[in-house]
Every structure is written in C-alpha cells, then in structure tokens.
Amino acid sequence: MAKRRLLEEQVKQLQAEAAERAQEPAIDPEKAQAEFDQLMAKANDLVLEGETAEAAKVQREAYKLLQPTAPTEPAPTVDAAQIREQVMQQIKVDDLVAAAKRDYPALDRDSESYNEAIEQRTASLERMYYAEGYTASQSVEKALADVVKLYDLAPVSETEVPETPPVQPKRDTSPDVRGSVAAANAQPPEPAAGVSTSAERPNQIDVATLSQDEFDALPESTLASLRGDSI
C-alpha cells in the first residue's frame, strides 16, 4: 500500500507541474514594443536633464524587451500510465535485488560471502539486456539467471537449512516385573526339611540379578526358601 501511495503522489505532482507550465502567459510582441518606446522616451528626458547614469539604466531595460525570445513550446503532455509503469518497474527492480541479496550472499555487500566480480558481471549483463530493449525488471531477472548458471550459485534456502531427523519412538526400558514373578512361581516345589537346596535345585533364583521391584514381588514361599527357612 505504501508503494502504491507513493506512485499516486508522483503522478499527481508531475501532472500539476505540467498544468502550471501550460498556464504561463506568452509574450505579446506589440505590447513589448510599446513598453520599449515608453522607456526610450523616458531615457531621452533623463539625458536632457543631465541624468545620464539613470538614463543608461532605463535604456538597458528597454533593450531587454527587444531581445529575441524562444518560441513558446507547448507544455509536454503527462502520460499517467507511462509514469505509473516507470514507478512500478522500479518497485519490481527493488524487490528483485532484495530477493537476490537474500538468496545469494555473493551479491550482498554486507555479507561475508560477497563477491565483487559476480556483482559486476550481474550489472554488466543487466545493462546489456536493457540496451536490447528489455524492461528494467526483465533485465535484472535475465542477468540474475545468467549469473546463477555461470557461477553455479545455489540459493541459501537450499544449502543451509538442515534436514530434521525423524523422531525415533522411545523404547520401554522398565523391568518386566510380571515376567520375573511368573518365573519365580514356576519353580519346582520346595524340598523337604534337611534336603540340600544348592546342588539339587538348578532353577534356584539368582537374587543378585533381580531389581528391587522384582525382589519385592516374589511370593513369601520363595523368599522363605531363599532365606533357608524350614517348612
């Protein structure tokens, strides 16, 4: 919206200037001759009175009226559509240049990747296309396209944006308490009192490998067996 308002203001200003020039009055030759005669008569009177210096001033004013004047030229016609197109072309060029600096740091003088040779080549191509009859915005577009191919430039958006790795599902690392309890319950029945519980019970639970939750979930009979209590 701001650019459009600027365009309208510039068109109005040019139209007003053209209208003002058209209203300037043209010089009337007959009127100029009459004023010349009056001034010369006044100068003669001053000479007769001895006021030669003043008479010289009046004579200079009179001769200015007889100086040839250039013919009045018609005021140029302001083509609002043409002015609007020129302003729009400039807006397009500004947008193209801003986008080029953003996507290709080699063309941005404020960037660490700035390359003066590339910028000069772009400007040279732009002038060449404009001389061939392309509009300002078309010249910029074609010059940028040529430079991108010539120097194998890649937009920043395609080279510096890292890919987001896929999210891996979290593995469940909690102990299988129910499985441990089921294994404990599947143990063979307790032997009679006095029977050895070491060599003859190969399925004896290894308490050292159990977590606290697994140990707390063992049945009382298993705990008693582990303690060596007699039944």
**3-state secondary structure labels for all residues of the chain:** CHHHHHHHHHHHHHHHHHHHHHCCCCCCHHHHHHHHHHHHHHHHHHHHCCCHHHHHHHHHHHHHHCCCCCCCCCCCCCCHHHHHHHHHHHHHHHHHHHHHHHHCHHHCCCCCCCCHHHHHHHHHHHHHHHHCCCCHHHHHHHHHHHHHHHCCCCCHHHHCCCCCCCCCCCCCCCCCHHHHHHHHHCCCCCCCCCCCCCCCCCCCCCHHHCCHHHHHCCCHHHHHHHHCCCC
pLDDT band at 213 (very low <50, low <70, confident <90, very high): confident
CA angle 196, 201, 202 (to 5 degrees): 145
**Residue pLDDT, tens place only, 34-84:** 888 888 778 777 766 777 777 778 777 877 776 655 455 555 555 667 777
**Residue pLDDT, tens place only, 193-206:** 444 444 444 456 67
- Section 173-179 average pLDDT: 54
How far is it, in rounded angstroms, from Cα 120 to Cα 117? 5
